[in-house]
Amino acid sequence: MRDVAIIGVGMTKIGKFPDRMLSGMGREAVIAALKDAGVPPKEIQAAYSGTSLGGALLGQRIFKDLGMSGMPINNMENACSSGSSAMREAWLSIASGLYDMVIAVGSEKLSALGGGTLPLEREDLEVSGGMVMPALYAMRARRYMHEFGATPEHLAKVVVKSRQCATKNPQAQFRKETTVEEVLNSRMVADPLTLFQCCPMGDGSAAAVICSADKARQYTRQPILIKGSILVSGRFDNSFRDMTTPEITVRASKLAYEMAGIGPKEVSLAEVHDAFSIAELLYYEALGFCGRGEAPKLLDEGATEIGGRIPVNPSGGLISKGHPTGATGLAQTTEIVWQLRGQAGARQVKNAKVGLTHCTGGGIYGLDHGACSIHIFAK
């Protein structure tokens, strides 16, 4: 497998844009990424398009009106991991030598679905019995609080940090600061998770131009290398699984660190899948940034703020930047690339050398999550 680099990234703003077409947002991200890469569009040999609910042939709907047609277009779905799965397949196609230059784009338009919770697969037994994503995470939070004595205030602090980062991110959906009190007083969704602790429904798209490390040098003096690219599916377990240890993330991160030849201590910053407040705490532990039950302490110490020793979600994460599901994996990638290049403006992490993106997808009975994709990037 040869070395692979990202030479261009781009994303739309994230928010509610009911008057925009999904494929139009995809085109905006693609055009931005191509411009950032300085690559003539005809050099792109294949495309990988991720969306969870965007419908059939979204890749073709995005690219045909750019005249980028005829090439292999792969449409991928892995629920909220669709974008990072597209990223992973793009990486694989270059690493294996099949192509030299490809593009990955993730897009979603959740405003088209009306309000409420994300529609889940009704064939799933638990979904048909009343399971919704906020409830799944709420039950994790309840168990975590029971085992480790974490409080609702700890959950709320995740959101306060998130909003604070997002005030520095022009692409973010929610850019207003908040307080622990305001978070806890917002509407209860699934106890103990209140509205502010849940990522919003939103729309957006992000894209990345990926090529061999050799070819990258023709286009940029700042190629960002992909040192780790992992995709796993959840392990089926009908028995007494520990819901406070996200097994899919533990497993995927071990593989990613091994592939990149690093450990959690070498990570300069991470964009993790904080779909709900409790998620970020669980992932501090699952990704090895602290020990079991120590996440609230890590947060309290300020270690995961932009100025801390392991900044997590400097973009504002899913909670404040937003979570147009299929776009998220690539939106996280875009943030990491900007950070490693020193282009993150007011939210720049100092001395950013190694970045990690972590994206999970879907809730179905018997699995921790359906999918998890982790990428590690380095200058």
Positions in the binding site for another protein (CB under 8 A)? 116-117, 125-126, 128-132, 134-135, 138-140, 142-143, 146, 187-193, 236, 238-241, 243, 365
CA-CA-CA-CA torsion for 16, 18, 20, 21, nearest 10 degrees? 110
Complex with another protein: residue 193 or 319, whichever CB lies closer? 193
Q: Could you please report the per-residue DSSP string of 197-209? A: GBPPP-EEEEEEE
Minimum CB separation from another protein for residue 302, in Å?
A: 30
Complex with another protein: residue 71 or 135, whichever CB lies closer? 135
Minimum CB separation from another protein for residue 180, in Å?
A: 20
Q: Is 80 a catalytic residue?
A: yes
Residue 368: φ, ψ to 5°: -60, -60
Give me the catalytic one of 154, 323, 369, 375: 323
Q: Could you please report the per-residue DSSP string of 138-206? A: HHHHHHHHHHH---HHHHHHHHHHHHHHHTT-TT-S--S---HHHHHHSPEEETTEEGGGBPPP-EEEE
Complex with another protein: residue 201 or 267, whichever CB lies closer? 201
Minimum CB separation from another protein for residue 249, in Å?
A: 19
The residue type of 14 is: I
Minimum CB separation from another protein for residue 175, in Å?
A: 24
Q: How far is CA 41 from CA 35, 134, 149, 206, 347, in A?
A: 9, 41, 54, 17, 31
Minimum CB separation from another protein for residue 52, in Å?
A: 18
Minimum CB separation from another protein for residue 167, in Å?
A: 27
Peptide bond into 192 cis (omega under 30): yes
Complex with another protein: residue 16 or 175, whichever CB lies closer? 16
SS3 312: strand
Complex with another protein: residue 143 or 254, whichever CB lies closer? 143
The whole-angstrom separation of Cα 341 and Cα 36 is: 12
Give me the catalytic one of 80, 198, 211, 290: 80
Residue 315: φ, ψ to 5°: -75, -15
The whole-angstrom separation of Cα 109 and Cα 20 is: 9
Token pair listed for 174: 């929610």
Complex with another protein: residue 188 or 303, whichever CB lies closer? 188
Burial class (CB in 10 A: 0-12, 13-18, 19+), 60: middle
Give the active site residues: 80, 323
